[in-house]
Amino acid sequence: MDLAEKSEKLQLLLDDDPEKAIDEALKLSGNINVDLLQASIFVDAGAMIKNFDLVSKGVEIYRDAIGRFQDNSELKYNLANGLHSLALCTNYINFSWYYDTENYRLEARQYFYIAANDSEASIDVRSQSYTNLGNLLWSSYRWVEAYDFYTLALTENPKNGVASSGALKMLRYALGQELGDYELIVEEIEHLASHVNKNLESIYSYSGDYGVKGIVDEVKDIPCNEKADLTIEGDEYEEFVISNNLTLSPTIHSHSHESKYWDTINISSVTSSIDSGSAVPEIFAMINLLKSDYILARQLFFSASNRLFSETGSYNDTLDYACFGVNESALALAQRSALDILDKVAVATLSYLEVGGAKRTSFKEAWFKKRKEKDDKEEFKPKILQEIENGNTALLALTEVSRDLSNKSGYLFEKQASRNSSTHRFTVLHDFGEIPTSQTGCLEHFNYEIFFRESLRTLKLARSSIIYFVQMVLIREKKLSEHSNGIVMPLTVPSHEEIRGFDE
């Protein structure tokens, strides 16, 4: 029996009898291709029966293979699946699961992201990597980012029914949280249900019989409707915002807006004591500024990427295909401005939760106690931990974003590095040829297309974090109202546009 036949036989066994598939895989021996087949069975079957040690064996085989073939993104994708499976095989007793599985999930996200962005990888590997990255983010309630990655997975492979089912799940969650425009979300959910039912073959190829059954069960009660043809009646900027899902609202993209105010996500009310007087709580000013900073960064990105800034400077050519000018500087500024928003999210969160040191904090450090020793494990500040353990999943999401940005193994770490570069050193973009290395370390060189793509995703990250912040407040306020004793009096905060007469 050749390797292809062995693989087909084991894959058929997986769904029906994973234990037998494991027994058959243990009998295999041979070259590295046989080892990799064995690893795939260890990971997949081990995950199905929650056998941590077996999945660990598969992970070690993949690690060894990557050591020998470091540029192979398919191996990194498989390793990421194994690491995710290790997290899922770890018993969930309480919140400690997030501590116990932190390193597995952190490394898995990094490898999924690498595989998804490798232009040399196959379409299936890229699409599956984005899908599984979305699944992994959802496990820590990072549903806004997960939705974006499911969308990217569908861009790579428009028939990926697993990705559309994941996107559907995120929108149902938003609906349950009472976030976004109800009618638009329901319309998109019904369209995604239709997509799932039309692409069962792709679900089978990615997830097998087990995956098909689970996904079909999730959508069986949802009406299936086709999406109406999209016509965006607006300028190029509005088309850019809608097509890239950059509105400050959890409502899905691909819809035009009747109002000139697209960015409608807001905090409706907060609990305030009588002692605080009649002043509007500061959190309302904070969310206003978070929104306006984001909208400016978004406009800056659009204008820079479309070269809308007038150029008045003349520059020396450095003969290495570097791009210089106000539009390139504006693009770097847009990326930096988007990341700066995260620090303000941290300040606003600590201020709202009445955690000390809010005005001097950063997104990287806001959530954790100061470590006595460099190698000590990060521990949450008491009020942060208490709020998360009380069920504030949006706050958990923010802390997990922080880990990906601040940890060298985090898939977002390079964003932090490029932000530091554009703040303290010199960012140089190149649109052709090999990317040089700075002799002094004072220059940071980037491929223009990659920097553009990552800057767009940084905008999406800022958007996600603002939505998590608003959701965090909504979750906490709901719990406070449920446990409130005494008289509760509403304080109505008027529309800024109405007070200022902008709509007259």
pLDDT digits (tens, 9 = 90+) for 213-270: 888 888 888 888 877 655 556 689 988 998 898 998 876 555 555 667 778 888 888 8
Judged by DSSP in three states, 207 sits in helix
Residue 74 confidence (pLDDT) above 90: yes
Rg (CA), the chain: 24
pLDDT digits (tens, 9 = 90+) for 303-346: 999 999 999 999 999 999 999 999 999 999 999 999 999 999 99
Supply the pTM of this predicted model.
0.91
Strands 443-447 and 322-323 turn out to be unpaired
Across 32-48, average pLDDT? 92
Mean pLDDT, residues 155-180: 92
What is the reported pLDDT for 373? 74
What's the rounded mean pLDDT across residues 92-98?
Answer: 85
Question: Are the C-beta atoms of residues 222 and 190 closer than 8 Å to each other?
Answer: yes
Q: Distance between CA 54 and CA 44 in Å, rounded? A: 10
Residues counted in the chain: 504
pLDDT attached to residue 425: 77
Judge whether residue 47 has pLDDT over 60.
yes
Q: What is the pLDDT of residue 211?
A: 76
What residue segments make up the domains of the chain, in order of their start?
158-261, 265-500
- What pLDDT, in 10s, does the model give residues 365-417? 999 988 777 767 788 999 999 999 999 999 999 999 999 998 988 999 988 76
pLDDT at 95: 83
Report percent pLDDT > 70 for the chain.
Answer: 89
- Report, as an integer, the average pLDDT of 51-58: 96
What local confidence, expressed as pLDDT, does residue 421 receive? 64
Indicate if the pLDDT at residue 272 is higher than 80.
no
CB atoms within 10 A of CB 259: 6
**Out of 130-139, 216-225, 295-304, 472-481, least confident range:** 216-225
- 243 vs 239: CA distance, rounded Å: 6
Neighbouring C-beta atoms of residue 491, cutoff 10 Å: 13
